[in-house]
Amino acid sequence: MRTDMTSRSTVPRSPARRSNSTHWHLLTLAGFVLATATAGAQGDSTAITQNDPRIGLRPGYNDAAEVARNLELVGHAARPQNFGNAKDPGDFGYLNGDLAFRGNYAFQGGFNGWQVWDISNPKSPTLRMSLVCPGGQGDPSVYKNLLFISVEETRGRLDCGTQGVADTVSAERFRGVRIYDITDIDHPKQVAAVQTCRGSHTHTLVLDPNDTANVYIYVSGTGPVRSGSELAGCARGASLSDTTTSLFRIDIIKVPVAAPQNARVVNSPRIFADSAGAIAGLWKGGAHGPGTQTTTQTNMCHDITVYSAIGLAAGACSGNGILLDIRDPANPKRIAAVIDPNFAYWHSATFNNDGTKVLFSDEWGGGMAPRCRATDKLTWGADAIFYRAGNNLTPAGHYKLPVAQTDQENCVAHNGSLIPVPGRDIMTQAWYQGGVSVFDFTDPAHPKEIAFFDRGPMDSTKLELGGDCGTYWYNGHIYASEIDRGLDILDLKPSDQLSQNEIDAAKSVRFETFNPQNQPRLVWPASYAVARSYLDQLVRENGISADRSSAITRDLNRTEKLKGASQRTALTQLAGRLDRDARTASDPTRVQALAGAVRDLAKK
């Protein structure tokens, strides 16, 4: 969620439905190829306005109507009393923010501080502890015994006081990243507070496989630059070419794991510079032509998602989406940049598991406006999906919540994560008062919603801020941070678009820690659920003949009952038959994946 009113005020009202045409073209700027998207496949249609159960839901704060398809709300916890304003549930100063996970705990940040939920029983999450400490949306990350919290607002104080800071320049103000020792989770200790010039709207935990003694924090500040009298070295800058400015950069904090009190900013790289070194080298701000969005100037990143397994990061950086080489975490290098004239503000990013696609979201309206109405384009306030090959990004399609929302519901693309279904690119994503949408973007030109959960508006007469800030898959469940109502926990249900085998395979992927902006590689342990997932997909998409799919089903059922050497031999023989099937199947790649899953079973 963005809080800078200047950016939002430049966003125009949505025009009527655009023409049914799709245009992609490439623009070369400052030595980098910028993929430019003007439309996507989903944009050729309009939002659903009838025959969807999400339409016309009863409004309310605690008693809004709820509806789900292929999802079930299994657990809920209301935010603590001191984390809300009873007279104004949508009070910005108390909204919940993002989530991070470790073991049986979910860490929920927020504008008034942060909370720790015990999620050992997902049907009944309980508050373990909370800490009132205002200062912004409070995005969290966790690593071993350390918790990191973003602070951006000018009211943030070193002592976590609630009285704010009255003076324009003050030694009491804190804007940056707080670091807590949570060895005793009931009694966290702040061990460091690293100040930055624009504060920390969000941050990204980065691990270096070659340096386990340190972790790095990429700080994305979107707030105003503080005075150099308050923090040495900070400056707004006199012009776009002024290299003393604190704009047009991110900050990188190095944190010694054994001595976090020594954390400090070690680099502020100019990742938006052009090939000639001009620091304002990407989008200058403004519209792209008739019928396009007014896009924010690229002088900040809102979110950076790192995928350390492939040495890359994707940055959603106000006016551009960018790709970074992070093999040297302290010195990231930009290797690609993209533009989409449908985007107002590049907000967040997600890789698919094999790193061949990158999905960027657009927070048109800053998360505070109704941007999912029937009159709003399906390519505005949406996701843009790109193919990645090496350092190149190529436009592939768009996805947006397919059902229209009301004028009383703030709604736009927001945070989410992959769901680990083998062989498919499936994501759960938050849309504020548009709820939770689970969609398949395996074919990025034709992404498809396969599940949803939604509530009615907070209020029937006016827009009251509410809805889901972020929704993430973690160890078998979907967790959603509801900015007013608390924490939701949902389970996927089988359907004609997602089988029980696929859900079981997804549940087999487990993590001890999950920070959404530090994307882990998904690896599935050998199981019959994984093998049957591939078979279910082949049947669903007619990727293999009916006779062969029936025979493979019988073979899997038979081998599952065998033991020891007999089972290994039977599985090895089945894998060989699948290799031969792949030569004639209409989906040979998936048949080969099934053969690999069967071989993995044989090795158990």
Residue ranges of the domains in the chain? 5-514, 528-602
Residues 137, 180: Cα–Cα separation, whole Å: 17
Q: State which amino acid sits at residue 382.
A: A
Residues 380, 588: Cα–Cα separation, whole Å: 36
At 463, the pLDDT band (50, 70, 90 cuts) reads very high
Q: For residue range 262-309, what is the model confidence (pLDDT) as tens digits?
A: 999 999 999 999 999 999 999 999 999 999 999 999 999 999 999 999
Give residue for tokens 């827009």. Answer: 463
The 8-class DSSP code of residue 505 comes to H
Is the pLDDT at 24 greater than 60, yes or no? Answer: no
Q: What is the pLDDT of residue 11?
A: 27
Residues 560, 535: Cα–Cα separation, whole Å: 15
Q: What is the pLDDT of residue 595?
A: 98
Average pLDDT over residues 438-453: 98
Residues 195, 170: Cα–Cα separation, whole Å: 13
* Residue 349 · residue 315 · CB < 8 Å: yes
Q: What is the pLDDT of residue 29?
A: 43
Average pLDDT over residues 196-221: 97
Q: For residue range 330-363, what is the model confidence (pLDDT) as tens digits?
A: 999 999 999 999 999 999 999 999 999 999 999 9
Q: Quick one: tokens of 59? A: 């409004």
3-class SS of residue 476: coil
pTM over 0.85: yes
CATH 3.30.70.20 fits 5-514, yes or no: no
Q: Quick one: tokens of 92? A: 């910005």
Residues 271, 280: Cα–Cα separation, whole Å: 9
Nearest of 321, 315, 387 to residue 354 by alpha carbon: 387
Q: Quick one: tokens of 232? A: 């040495």
